Amino acid sequence: MNQHMWYPCDDNRDEVRVAMPISTEHRGEFEFRSLTPGDIDTVRRLCKEWFPVEYPDSWFRDICTNSRFFTRVACYQATIIAFIVAEVKIYALLTKEERSMLAASFPRRTQMAYILSLGVSAEYRRRGLASQLLGLLLSELRTAEHADCRAVYLHVLTSNSPALRFYERHKFRLHTFLPYFYKIDGKYRDGFLYVYYINGGHPSYGALDYVVYAFSLLYEFSPCAVARAAVRLLRRAVKFVLPQGRRTTETIACLS
């Protein structure tokens, strides 16, 4: 499962982005640590092997030297076999499309984390490394330092079925279909925007969300047969009427 995306660095905005910690730890036979300047050539080679796009040299320099990126690599016997790269962004710097993932009620200081790249060497896949790397990122974002980070999001090719299954298994939700989002080998390819809400983050609520909430209150304070039946019907409505990408974590939770 390999997934990638990259936005060019704007050095004039570095001061408003969030610095990420450097870390090293061991888990069983694997070592997990941050990227360093000495990893540039290795990461460049791995990206060429793993991903269908070409990255500019500035990208490798940025992710290996700039503290605004969250990076973790998995090493086996001192050799990099997997890595994740993410960046925490300030809400005010996001595009209109990216801001639409969160309810407008969140303040402008709100943060969102963007996963730029996640990949594992072919011979080490299906060993849980991608899940561990994603878990390290989410654990960092749940710390007090990142309490204002309300969502994690990423772009992925619509044809990348392993990546889609991976993120959906980890509770990421489809937010938007992006036609002609990628350009690979001179051809345009479609993409998806996926999002995972954390630290109380949520999208804008629709009319059905308020109906669900009202019936949930009715069920809580008057657990009669009618209320229970209504909640069961609403569960089915959420499951079958709404597209997968429009269901919110809060909607499902209040019906559980």
Active site residues: 114, 155
Residue 254 CA to residue 256 CA, distance in Å, equals 6
Structure tokens at 207: 């009319």
Is the separation of the CB atoms in 191 and 200 below 8 Å? no
Phi, psi angles (nearest 5°) of residue 50? -90, -35
Sign of torsion over alpha carbons 62, 63, 64, 67: positive
Residue 172 CA to residue 164 CA, distance in Å, equals 9
Query: Which of these, 156, 145, 137, lies nearest to 69 by C-alpha position?
Result: 137
Is the separation of the CB atoms in 2 and 163 below 8 Å? yes
Is the separation of the CB atoms in 198 and 141 below 8 Å? yes
Which residues lie closer than 8 Å to 70 by C-beta, 6 or more apart?
Answer: 20, 84, 85, 86, 87, 88, 113, 137, 140
Residue 161 CA to residue 213 CA, distance in Å, equals 34
Residue 236 CA to residue 40 CA, distance in Å, equals 50
Is the separation of the CB atoms in 91 and 99 below 8 Å? yes
